[in-house]
Amino acid sequence: MATLLSMTGCGEAHCAQDGISYSLEIRAFNNRYFKASIKLPETLQFLEERVEKALRSELGRGSVIYQLRVRDQRAAAAYGVNVAALQAYVDQISRARLPEGVSAAVDLGTLAALPGVCQPPEPDEDFRQQQAAIIDRLTREALAHLVAMRLREGEALRADLRGHCDGIRAQLQLVEQRVPDVVVLYQERLAARVNTLLEESRLQLEADALAREVALYADRCDVTEEITRLRSHLDQFLAACDSGDQVGRKLDFLAQEMLREANTIGSKSNDVRIVQAIVEIKSLVDRLKEQVQNVA
């Protein structure tokens, strides 16, 4: 039996190499479409498109938060000072006209925090490629953990979905068994009412007139096609759960179709038992619709 994937999950991956430590976390949430929030250090921004492609390929749809933290303890990682930018700030401050009594003294720490004064080192191409390979490996590892978690949650989801489907099937069987009795009961009530009226008015009614009225009633409340379609949607729903594909949208569509057929059956019926069964079916379908929002 193929597995069902939940849309929620979390995966992590960590490593340290050549004085640099990497920590990656990927989290996935419900969304009808694919939406990625990728948070990379400034020096690794060039990998954003590559990372998004890997996420989209593996996850298909859903909201994804990809967060990579890098701690570089190498001496080569020290920020450089842009002397020209620093001098420009100093010149502007020295030329500024300050109110009387206000000091123009500025410490180096304040100057260093100004935009453009301190700049990260520019990595060479070999170093960039080395980091890209590391990030690729971490991404695959974190995605594998995330997918494993989605599989575990998917199995629990499938068990719940199958339980609701079993409940729908049981209620549908009650409806199917009850429909013929409804016509018979209507015929008996109608015959009793007509006989009472005829006795009081001393009129006569052709025998086939009653049969025609019962036939019309049976036609109006006939739900055979709706029951057949609902059962077909139910079978397709269960088959999709076991298909192993990304079936969230298909399951949502089938649940909507089941609800539509149940509403039609309910609108054609005025029997209390059938109405009660339809109310239960609609309640179970609503639970299906809620849960399939978390299916990939």
Give the chain's domains with CATH numbers.
9-77+123-153 (3.30.230), 80-112 (no CATH), 155-292 (1.20.140)
- Find the mean pLDDT for residues 14-23: 93
pLDDT tens digits, residue range 95-135? Answer: 776 666 666 667 777 777 888 877 766 777 888 899 999 99
- Find the mean pLDDT for residues 6-27: 95
Whether 57 shows a pLDDT value over 60: the answer reads yes
Q: Which residues of 50-89 are buried (b: 16+ CB within 10 A; e: fewer)?
A: ebeebbeebbebbbbebebebebeeeeeeeeeeeebbeeb
HEC readout, 187-251: HHHHHHHHHHHHHHHCCCCCHHHHHHHHHHHHHHCCCHHHHHHHHHHHHHHHHHHCCCCCCHHHH
- Find the mean pLDDT for residues 234-244: 91
CA dihedral 188, 194, 196, 202 (to 10 degrees): -150
From CA 293, how far away is CA 181, in angstroms rounded?
Answer: 38
pLDDT given at position 76: 52
pLDDT tens digits, residue range 193-203? Answer: 655 655 555 55
Q: Tell whether the torsion through CA atoms of 56, 251, 293 and 243 is positive or negative.
A: negative
Q: Which residue has the higher pLDDT, 247 or 198?
A: 247
**Contact of 195 with 207, CB cutoff 8 Å:** no
pLDDT given at position 113: 80
Average pLDDT of the chain to the nearest whole number: 85
pLDDT given at position 180: 80
pLDDT given at position 216: 62
> Which range among 43-52, 77-86, 94-103, 115-124 shows the weakest confidence by mean pLDDT?
94-103
Whether 137 shows a pLDDT value over 90: the answer reads yes
* Reported pTM: 0.69
Backbone angles phi, psi at 36, to 5 degrees: -115, 135
